[in-house]
Structure 1
């Protein structure tokens, strides 16, 4: 069993290997067995025409938090099989925090949930919630 620092080190390496994650400025702040937390600073280029964080950014945050969470119990070779997201309120603020937790884990799949909160004036507000299934894959197979 890995300790918190080992999980976080590995997780940050995996996140750093994702060019899109770099583009949005995502940081992995927590990564333990069964839990992952991503933070994204809100910048102007992540907003839509009304000044809210674009739904695609909220969706990215949820999807990546779900997949990291599933990978924390299944191993590094995982993909999102499916997920559903509910947008609850427009996201306006300084940063997003996506917190993923494992609901159930088997040998080849994990069901995870994620809450996406926005920090606005120092206060957390829930803006989206998601649930997804994360599955393992054989990295030697060409998809």
Structure 2
């Protein structure tokens, strides 16, 4: 594990929200991060699908950590704004959020994430996020 990955994993481990959701950091590369989370009984909406809050939380974190992976060691990032398109109900066993940096900049970073619902070996694209991160 390199220094960048160790820094991202240590930061992720400090996020109590990700622990509450049962989320795990499954892949880290420069400009790309993947987070997975089970669709737990406590994270369902009234129709039995994974709640949009779960989808947004892991998508935002995946995109944010993708941005952080390109920042200097002493930097942190925060979300300035994030848009989500919910394209399909999050039905399945778990969700996978694949975050990436669209445009790295000195003052802002444009990021995106795709969220997939997983059942067995099949995946369904359920959401797209796009937003802006700022170094702090």
- The TM-score by the shorter chain falls in which range? over 0.9
User: Which structure 1 residue ranges, 4+ long, deviate > 6 Å from structure 2?
Assistant: none
- CA change 1:26–1:48 in 2 (3 A) is same
Preserved CA contact (<8 Å) 1:74 1:110 = no
RMSD: 1.3
Show structure 2 runs of 5+ residues with no match.
Answer: none
Count the aligned residue pairs: 134
Match of 2:52 in 1: 55
Show structure 1 runs of 5+ residues with no match.
Answer: 138-143
Match of 2:96 in 1: 97
Query: Alpha-carbon deviations, 1:7-35, whole Å to 9, x = none?
Result: 33222211110111100011111111110
> Pairwise mapping of residues 103-114 of structure 1 onto structure 2 (< 5 A)?
103-114=102-113
Cα deviation for residue 110 of structure 1 reads 0.9
**Range moving further from structure 2, 34-43 or 6-15:** 6-15
Match of 1:116 in 2: 115
Preserved CA contact (<8 Å) 2:92 2:117 = yes
Compute the TM-score of the two structures, normalised by the length of structure 2. Answer: 0.92
